[in-house]
Amino acid sequence: MKATQQLHDLGQSLWLDNITRGLLTSGTLGRYISELSVTGLTSNPTIFEHAIKEADFYDDAIREKALTGKSGEALFFELALEDLTEAADLFAPVHAGTGGVDGWVSLEVSPLLADDTAGSIKAAAQLHARAQRPNLFIKIPGTRAGLPAIEETIFAGVPVNVTLLFSREHYIAAAEAYMRGIERRIAAGLDPTVASVASLFISRWDVAIKDMVPQDLRNRLGIAIAKRTYTAYRELLASARWQKLADAGARPQRLLWASTGTKDPAASDTLYLEALAAPDTINTIPEKTLLAFAEHGKVKAALPLDGGDAEALLAEFARAGVDNAALAADLQREGAASFAKSWRDLLDRIASKIDVLTKAGQT
**Pair 203, 263: CB distance under 8 Å:** yes
d(C-alpha 104, C-alpha 125), whole Å: 17
Residue ranges of E strands in the chain? 12-16, 38-41, 105-108, 136-141, 160-165, 196-201, 254-258, 281-285
Determine which helix (DSSP H) or strand (DSSP E) holds 256, and give its type and residue range.
Answer: strand 254-258
Taking residue 281's Cβ as centre, other Cβ atoms within 10 Å add up to 23
CB 271 within 8 A of CB 295: no
Tell me, what DSSP letter sits at residue 137? Answer: E
Beta strands in 259-357 (DSSP E): 281-285
Beta bridge partners of 106: 137
Please say if 244 is a catalytic residue: no
Q: Which amino acid type is present at position 237?
A: L
Measure the CA–CA gap between 81 and 87, rounded to whole angstroms.
Answer: 10
- The contacts of residue 344 (CB under 8 Å, 6+ apart) are none
Q: What span, in angstroms and rounded, lies between the C-alpha atoms of 158 and 156?
A: 6
- Separation between Cα atoms, residue 232 and residue 226, nearest integer Å: 10
Closest CA relative to residue 75, chosen from 300, 359, 358, 362: 358
Contacts of 84 (CB under 8 A, 6+ apart): 19, 43, 105, 106, 107, 131, 133, 136
Query: What does the alpha-carbon distance between residue 349 and residue 287 come to, in Å, rounded to a whole number?
Result: 23
User: Among the options 139, 263, 298, 341, which is catalytic?
Assistant: 139
Q: What residues are annotated to the active site?
A: 139
